[in-house]
Amino acid sequence: MKLAVFVHEYREPEILDRLKAEKFGIILVQNGVYHATLKKNGQTSPLLSKEAEFYALSEDLASRGLSDDKVDPKVKVVNYEGLVDLIFNDYEKILWL
């Protein structure tokens, strides 16, 4: 199964550790985009240590005053069109956490 999970808050959802898939994607939206850029004590978000492909919505980064050049290299920045492509072409199931 190819599973994508939308993360919309800065707190890390505990359920992520229990999800398994052959292809696992984490899509950072709304306040979840802070995982892609903020560092605490020089460390990136623990969320980025998961075995997954990471995406951050560019419009949500921009609306929070965050620039693409501050995004961790593990995270691919996508716009709404790219997000739709991910949902319809790359993943079979979608969760919103």
Using an 8 Å Cβ cutoff, are 86 and 2 in contact? Answer: no
What confidence score (pLDDT) does residue 18 get? Answer: 74
Between 5-9, 13-17, 44-48, the lowest mean confidence (pLDDT) is in: 13-17
Q: For the segment 26-71, what is each residue's pLDDT rounded down to a tens digit? A: 999 999 999 998 676 767 888 888 889 999 999 999 999 998 888 9
Give CA–CA dist 19/91, Å, rounded.
14
Give pLDDT, residue 30. 94
Q: Distance between alpha carbon 24 and the CA centroid of its chain, in Å?
A: 11
- Would you identify the CATH topology of the domain 2-96? Hypothetical Protein Ychn; Chain: A, (3.40.1260)
What is the pLDDT, as a whole number, of residue 40?
66
Domains of the chain: which residue ranges?
2-96
